[in-house]
């Protein structure tokens, strides 16, 4: 009987390994950038076309490779980062996955150019689907250039599973930002489809963060610094008033390597306790330095998760450091036991004696004795003066009182008008209006009586449905009304958010937004939709970008649908808002005038009907 188990060919094994190592173009970007950093380069360029599907090229001025190393680096389990198993627990480099370049070469067209500083000529290597096409000598600058073209050209199924260019480019930007923030001493440049996206010269941490996320980021940052035997901390935390709904600007770096850690994130959130609005997330950029032997970074294929030896101590140190920084820079409230300078004695009264009040007492005064009232000058209404002598005593208060009471006590005949008695206090129309009156329950539901029972409407979901259909109609017909602003608004966003705004500009203008300027880091808004107040404009834009950060639909209808849903969610009346009776009536009428009043834009029911028979059954028990 023949054997049914056999070894796979190398090119098939490499393609299988590529499924774990290379998930999307961003995986290639991460591998090549980390290799360039490990090559001790101080100038790195990233060139991307069609969100990495057509080209991902990384050019560095590092140490370069010899002709032998240039060919050997594409072999499986070949690496210059480690020599034995013990090196895995004392790593000072980035990438050390021996199958990374081999997997990339198995599913793409690879062109590599490299030259060492002590060599006159370099090596030009071309590989297509794990097959070496050519290796020639060439005149090249010092360093290495990797050009990865036509990713997944020989695996069409994997290429079809890639997302839209917007989504894939967003993942590439994430990887580029993480490497650039971890190494501010390196000059990074990024180009996409021929346009320069980033040009980040060598700088410090604060300048690198501001260069990536925009100039307005500087005023949001609070520095963090702490050094202990376990860990050394530095970085920045965002002020609570600049918190957002999404987690886009939250970064942990351990030994210059980006990581994700829910445990450390919880420590930071504990430091912000009581300072954030419900549902908001703070920004933070925290860099940790720990001994390499105290962590294990080989527990995840992408090396974004780390296991620490003493997580509890790290949690306590991180929480205390962030809380101390927020209090030190007067971001969080603190108890101040110092004296108040406003209570000090003014300088002009410092050497003066206090003036004691004097009291005069008339020992002969008798409140029950007869008192002779002195003559007083009185002014008549005409303006002339006259004198009057008056003697008063307490008995004079009751003079004539008996006569007045007798006069009041005399019987007086009283007559009343006859009034026609009606059968009901209210008219029939008023009674009907009382029966159909709406009520707001717990500032969440609107109860409306009907003939068969009652309708209970969820006010937030109902308003979402009304606004959603209004925005969708405006964008479809392209006749949205806009309110012009007397003073235009300047809104600042990061580079990624600005790219989304440029792509969404036509759809946003159809809703009523008017953009007079769109610059590299901010937009000038001169008009808003009628439903959007000036104070809500920035909130609506931030939530819209947050909802679309995972990708913008390619079709125009899907874009309009996503924008209408996001804006309806942001502008809808929230649970807990008190509505007047007229507002309740308008909301209910607007809901049942919609095309689909039964469900909200997110597929949840907007109202329920409770019949009288259902209520009777509850009492029949």
Domains of the chain: 10-200 (3.30.565.10), 205-328 (3.30.230.10), 439-609 (3.30.1370.100)
Instruction: Give DSSP secondary structure letters for 54-120.
Output: SEEEEEE-S----HHHHHHTTSTT--SS-SSGGGGGS--SS---TTHHHHHHHSSEEEEEEE-TT-S
pLDDT of residue 87: 53
Residues 6+ apart with CB under 8 A from 584: 438, 440, 446, 459
Of 41, 45, 27, 33, which Cα lies nearest the Cα of 196? 45
Q: How many helices (H) and strands (E) does the chain have?
A: 17, 26
Of 608, 577, 597, 573, which Cα lies nearest the Cα of 469? 597
pLDDT of residue 379: 47
Q: Where are the alpha helices (DSSP H) in 276-386?
A: 311-328
CA gap 560, 473 in Å, rounded? 10
Residue with structure tokens 């002009």? 348
- How many of the other CB atoms lie within 10 Å of CB of 561? 18
Could you give the count of Cα atoms lying within 13 Å of 43 in the half-sphere of its Cβ? 4
pLDDT of residue 347: 61
| Residue 593 burial by Cβ neighbours in a 10 Å radius (0-12, 13-18, 19+) | exposed
pLDDT of residue 20: 57
pLDDT of residue 560: 84
pLDDT of residue 96: 47
Q: Is the pTM of this model over 0.75?
A: no
pLDDT of residue 179: 94
pLDDT of residue 1: 52
Q: Provide the CA 405 distance to its chain's centre, in angstroms.
A: 79
* Mean pLDDT, contiguous 10-residue spans, the chain (621 residues): 67 58 88 91 95 93 90 75 55 59 89 92 91 91 94 86 84 92 95 91 92 85 90 92 81 91 92 85 92 74 75 91 85 56 61 77 77 49 47 58 53 56 49 66 91 91 93 80 88 82 85 88 89 86 79 66 89 90 91 92 92 88 67
**Torsion sign over Cα 30, 19, 86, 227:** positive
User: How distant, in Å, are the alpha carbons of 21, 197, 249, 448, 549 from that of 206?
Assistant: 32, 19, 14, 57, 24
Of 131, 134, 124, which Cα lies nearest the Cα of 154? 131
């Amino acid at each position: 009987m023949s054997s049914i188990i056999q070894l796979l060919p190398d090119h098939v094994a490499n393609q299988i390994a590529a499924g774990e190592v290379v998930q999307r173009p961003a995986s290639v970007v991460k591998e090549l950038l980390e290799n360039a950093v490990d090559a001790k380069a101080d100038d790195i360029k990233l060139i991307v076309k069609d969100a990495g599907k057509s080209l991902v090229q990384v050019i560095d001025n590092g140490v370069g490779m010899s002709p032998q190393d240039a060919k050997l680096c594409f072999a499986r389990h070949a690496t210059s980062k480690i020599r034995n198993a013990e090196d895995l627990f004392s790593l000072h480099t980035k990438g050390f996955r021996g199958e990374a370049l081999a997997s990339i070469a198995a599913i793409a067209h690879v062109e590599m150019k490299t030259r060492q500083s002590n060599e006159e000529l370099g090596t030009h290597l071309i590989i297509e689907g794990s097959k070496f096409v050519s290796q020639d000598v060439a005149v090249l600058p010092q360093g290495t250039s990797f050009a990865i073209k036509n990713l997944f050209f020989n695996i069409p199924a994997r290429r079809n599973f890639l997302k839209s260019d917007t989504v894939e480019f967003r993942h590439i930007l994430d990887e580029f930002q993480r490497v650039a923030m971890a190494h501010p001493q390196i000059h990074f440049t990024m180009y996409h489809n021929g346009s320069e996206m980033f040009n980040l010269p060598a700088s410090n941490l604060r300048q690198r963060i501001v260069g990536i996320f925009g100039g307005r980021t500087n005023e949001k940052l609070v520095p963090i610094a702490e050094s202990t035997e376990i860990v050394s901390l530095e970085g920045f935390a965002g002020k609570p008033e600049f918190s957002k709904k999404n987690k886009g600007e939250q970064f942990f770096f351990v030994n210059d390597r980006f990581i994700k850690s829910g445990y450390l994130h919880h420590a930071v959130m504990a430091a912000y306790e009581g300072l954030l609005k419900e549902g908001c997330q703070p920004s933070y950029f925290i860099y940790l330095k720990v001994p390499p032997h105290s962590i294990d970074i080989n527990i995840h294929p992408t090396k974004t998760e780390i296991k620490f030896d003493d997580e509890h101590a790290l949690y306590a140190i991180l929480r205390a450091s962030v809380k101390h920084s927020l209090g030190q820079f007067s971001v969080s409230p603190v108890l101040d036991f110092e004296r108040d300078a406003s209570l000090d004695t003014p300088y002009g009264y410092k050497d003066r004696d206090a003036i004691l009040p004097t009291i005069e007492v008339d020992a002969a005064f008798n409140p029950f004795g007869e008192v002779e009232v002195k003559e007083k000058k009185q002014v008549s209404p005409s303006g002339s003066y006259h004198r009057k002598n008056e003697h008063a005593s307490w008995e004079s208060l009751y003079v004539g009182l008996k006569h007045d009471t007798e006069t009041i006590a005399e019987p007086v005949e009283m007559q009343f008008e006859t009034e026609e008695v009606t059968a009901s206090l209210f008219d029939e129309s008023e009674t009907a209006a009382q029966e159909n009156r709406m009520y707001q329950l717990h500032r969440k539901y609107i109860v409306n009586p009907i003939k068969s029972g009652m309708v209970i409407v969820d006010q937030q979901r109902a308003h979402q449905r009304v606004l959603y259909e209004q925005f969708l109609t405006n964008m479809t017909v392209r006749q949205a009304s806009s309110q012009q602003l007397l003073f235009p608004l300047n809104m600042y966003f990061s580079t990624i958010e600005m790219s989304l705004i440029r792509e969404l500009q036509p759809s946003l203008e159809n809703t009523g937004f008017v953009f007079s300027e769109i610059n590299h880091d901010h937009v000038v808004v001169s008009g808003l939709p009628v439903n959007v107040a000036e104070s809500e404009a920035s909130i609506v834009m931030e939530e819209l970008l947050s909802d679309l950060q995972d990708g913008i639909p390619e079709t125009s209808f899907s874009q309009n649908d996503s924008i209408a849903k996001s804006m309806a969610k942001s502008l809808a009346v929230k649970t807990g808002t008190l509505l007047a009776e007229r507002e309740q009536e308008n909301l209910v009428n607007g809901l049942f005038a919609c095309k689909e009043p039964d469900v909200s834009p997110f597929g949840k029911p907007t109202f329920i009907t409770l019949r009288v028979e259902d209520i009777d059954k509850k009492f029949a028990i």
